[in-house]
Amino acid sequence: MRLTHVNNMGIIFGLPVHQTFPLILTIGVVLIALFLYYRYAPFHSRLIKIALGLFIGGSLGNLVDRLRFGYVTDFIDLRLWGNFHWPAFNLADFAMVMGAILFAYLLLRLKISPKRG
């Protein structure tokens, strides 16, 4: 692992896209996550709150950087084997990925039903 400095104009892990797409995607995903949280009862478990907090926090952190600077600063560079490097990322990217993985795992294990009342 090395610390580096990359100005990421794309989306997560530097995937290239038009500049407005990450903004729309981030806002849309955050709104959907918040809607699901308030609409469905199982989303009130502690682990779901942690997963959503990681995802929304990472998304909003990157969104603030993108709105403020026009890019996101990535600084973690992982060499997996040989000369293969995982694309540079930051802690917000890590939080979003871990939150999404935990969220997906919990969705597969929970029975979802609308809240009553």
Which residues carry out catalysis? 74, 93
H or E stretch covering 88: strand 84-89
CA separation, residue 70 to residues 32, 51, 95 (Å): 24, 27, 21
Half-sphere exposure of 2 (CA within 13 A, CB side): 10
